[in-house]
Amino acid sequence: MAEEQNQETATEEQQQAQFQLQKLYVKDVSFELPNAPQIFQDDGQVEIKMNLAQRVENLAENVHEVILTVTVTASLGEKTAYLAEVQQAGIFSIVGLDEQARHVALNTLCPHTLFPYARRSITDLVADGGFPPLVLQPINFDQVYAQRMQEAQAQAKAKANVSEDMEVQGNA
């Protein structure tokens, strides 16, 4: 009987948990060709680098703006061929999750939802800039989040060890 109540409680909690995308929009777009038109004359292999950043703003209780910034830099030797940056944003309503689960959702599910839109914008910018279309590979935001959490724990541990060392030195 206790197991039935636990299952009912778990089912009720799952039904109360809601994740909803309220609005999807491009917050900022930038495309630069600093070495045009000469860059189109150069031969060689273009090196592509991609950087991701994310910012979360609390708009109201259980309502968050998540901004995923995707920056792609293409270099040809020492020269920058192009720089494309998109800030893809969304307003998300997240209800019925504890703080840790909400943190995970904001840092995994939200960017996972936004990335395909940012990727399409980057592809269009690059093609419109006169370059072959760029295909960005999907990103496992769960893995990125787990790696960031491990790094944060390692830094916190290192700081704790430094503080302990400092205390010992201060008492000597």
CB 110 within 8 A of CB 90: yes
What element of type H or E holds 167?
Answer: helix 141-171
Collapsing DSSP states into helix, strand and coil, what is residue 61?
coil
Query: Tokens for 19?
Result: 């994740």
Sign of the C-alpha dihedral, residues 33, 36, 41, 44? negative
**With pLDDT > 70 as the criterion, what percentage of the chain qualifies?**
85
pLDDT digits (tens, 9 = 90+) for 69-122: 999 999 998 999 999 999 999 999 999 999 999 999 999 999 999 999 999 999
What average pLDDT is seen over the chain? 87
What CATH code would you report for 16-138?
3.10.420.10
pTM assigned to the model: 0.80
Residue ranges of domains in the chain: 16-138, 140-172
User: Could you count the other beta carbons within 10 Å of the beta carbon of residue 1?
Assistant: 5
Whose CA is closest to 66, among 22, 101, 120, 96?
22
